[in-house]
Amino acid sequence: MDIRIESIDGLRHRIPQHGRMRTDAIVYASKELLEQIRRDLSLQQAVNVATLPGIVGPSLAMPDIHQGYGFPIGGVAATDWNEGVVSPGGVGFDINCGVRLVRTNLSRDEVHSRIRELVNQAFRDVPCGTGGKGRLKLTEKELNEVLEKGARWLVDRGYSPPRDAECAEEGGCLAEADPGAVSARAKERGRPQLGTLGSGNHFLEIQYVQRVHYPEAAKAMGLEEGQVVVLIHSGSRGLGHQVCTDFLQQMGAAMKRYGISLPDRQLACVPIQSPEGQAYLGAMRASANFAWANRTAILYFLRDSFERVFGKSAELVTIYDVCHNIAKRERHVVDGKERDVLVHRKGATRAFPPGHPEIPEVYRSIGQPVLIPGSMGTASWVLCGTEGAMRETFGSVCHGAGRLMSRTAAKKGRNAKEVERGLEKRGVIVRSETKNGILEEVPEAYKDVDEVIEVVEQAGLARKVARLRPMGVIKG
Catalytic residues: 399
Residues 6+ apart with CB under 8 A from 188: none
275-310 and 140-149 helices, crossing angle to 10° = 100
Query: Coil, strand or helix: which one is 412?
Result: coil
- What phi and psi values does residue 430 have, to the nearest 5 degrees? -125, 135
Cα–Cα distance for residue pair 299/102, rounded to 1 Å: 8
**In terms of DSSP bridges, do strands 85-86 and 270-271 run parallel, antiparallel, or are they unpaired?**
antiparallel
Q: How far is CA 451 from the centre of its chain?
A: 19
Bridge partners of 195, per DSSP, are none
Bridge partners of 73, per DSSP, are 66
- CB neighbourhood size of 21 (10 A): 21
Radius of gyration of the chain (CA): 21
Query: Coil, strand or helix: which one is 199?
Result: coil
Cα–Cα distance for residue pair 293/288, rounded to 1 Å: 9
Cα–Cα distance for residue pair 291/286, rounded to 1 Å: 9
Long-range contacts of 435-441 (CB under 8 A, 24+ apart): 436/407, 436/411, 437/129, 437/199, 437/475, 437/476, 438/376, 438/475, 439/410, 439/411, 439/414, 440/200, 440/201, 440/407, 440/410, 440/411, 441/201, 441/203, 441/375, 441/376, 441/410, 441/475
- CB neighbourhood size of 273 (10 A): 13
Per the CB < 8 A criterion, the answer to whether 471 and 429 are in contact is yes
- CB neighbourhood size of 81 (10 A): 18
CA distances from 82 to 53, 58, 86, 340 (A): 11, 18, 11, 8
Query: Coil, strand or helix: which one is 104?
Result: strand
- CB neighbourhood size of 424 (10 A): 13
Closest alpha carbon to 12 in 391, 408, 267, 338: 391
Continuous segment of H or E residues that includes residue 419:
helix 416-425
Continuous segment of H or E residues that includes residue 372:
strand 369-372
